[in-house]
Structure 1
């Protein structure tokens, strides 16, 4: 027995929306499980970002569940079919419940991404940290009117899901605000996708590694594109065939939600995929010619004092993809763990305190680790 026999209003765009949502949702759920596993068994950092990600996943899952119920009752199908099958009331009720949770899931996902990037940035760039906080706060604050408008666009509010009282509803304000909040969401997605690239660009990494990490952490641009399309599709709420047109809005909305969760979960689970991509994890920090390092025979002090020769400091970056638990490695451990991907080893020199991305003070190694070295006067 097919779904259409059990749910006669099921059809149109609904089956396609259902498959896309369940497919992306399954992928995102797998990544979230892996992310929790990494946090519990591999790396003891990223707790705040993980909590926000789990909240976003929960809200998105609830949205998807009510979206499935809405699809079974006519979302994505022609309004004439929905009316003929007597499912218009159920379609309205479950669709607006879906919209309610969707309006909470979208900004929460943005906050989860911002929290992850804040932990990645640590204290290395205060301006970037502040901008990420602003992006997260704006998405939460500006989403509140959208959440409330979903329930107060009809007078009385229960007319929202009553087919006989749709004339008492005024959706124009909600749709216009949808254009605005959709633009904010798209710009936020683009910004959150570009920021990791700017963090990685100055680092002396292998080209393949740098481009690979930039691509994985920049997948949020697809969520931004989806936000633009679903904002455009909000106009179908006012059309003569809203159930069919809103199927477009729902499809791109679920794509946006799940892509955000998937893209933010790839970097934290990187330690699990390290063995599969070992030949890409190379550092281009040092030249293969030892003659280039004749002058690097001593590091500057922990205070960062330079010798009187006035030489400009040179920063060398070491990349370490960590999968070890435990406290942060000291300078000797850092050099030892990164020697496999470095050509030259500085056994007689004292390194400065390493700065670890995605790790708090006293925490374990992160998935990208930077040790700063300064040139000794010759």
Structure 2
């Protein structure tokens, strides 16, 4: 494979920037263009629902690199321009302003859009949280709000509820699950997280769907559940999931199915790659496609894409990893817990609030490891997962 004469990265978040940095670290000195919809410098998203929302970080602290470091990359940053279409055959991107950008290699790193439900939109006091601007606006209203309802009990909704509660608000967390983050943590650990929230005063409303908003004078006053109950609120945050930012890729010639469909090399078409939250790649060890929405994957997959652009031809087969900080507890998860997996505490004690648990499948094989306020110990258990997540080498023909 020939080294491309130029590279265009679409998406100026953590994944897109990591592609540029990795290419430069690997000695690539040709032209690189980074196209991003937001006007500011690339920033980190995990602090938005925690440090920025709580006010312990100023917005500027989320910037991933200083201006001097970005300038040293010798890349062209085209910011404040939204990509509107892609011709995968010619590797040409058109922007909403009518400009055309092309390159021999194109990397799609456009991330996610916050899902907006019509029944939870268009009213003052109702927020989503995806961008830095979203976080700043939400913090401004949280400082004045007394009663907050968070709709959605996944990772983001749980983090927002935890932060709002620490800020002193009366918080209700609603969602369709039996406990917060049950889909990510399984029944047993999610029950512990529910107990943590309850102990800190968060009002949990499990198995609860919100049907519509209650309003007065154009501003939210509460949410009405599917059962007809009204939960009062001065402020509502809708954390009902995200959708891959692939709308602009309709008609591009790429396969789109809950993300940009890629092979094990994160390649969506000849000379076109995808990375980060938007990429659905084939995991060779698991034998199926995955799309991972987490910060660690954004960096690791970007590095794999950069290597493959330069001819490495290696599969991307990570041990998935994510973390969340809530109410003084750091939770770290390696691997993919499954709904049928059983959990076994292998270090520490749940009663003491510090433990490591392994998730085992029906045959007793480890599929994931979780650390609850034991980050170092959890990391030491990661090697037990390598057999499951490492592709088997293909035997050479005789």
TM > 0.5: no
Structure having the larger proportion of residues in helix: 1
Q: Choose between structure 1 and 2: higher strand proportion.
A: 2
Higher relative contact order (CA 8 A, sep 6+): 1
Q: Which has the larger radius of gyration?
A: 1
TM-score, normalized by length of structure 2? 0.19
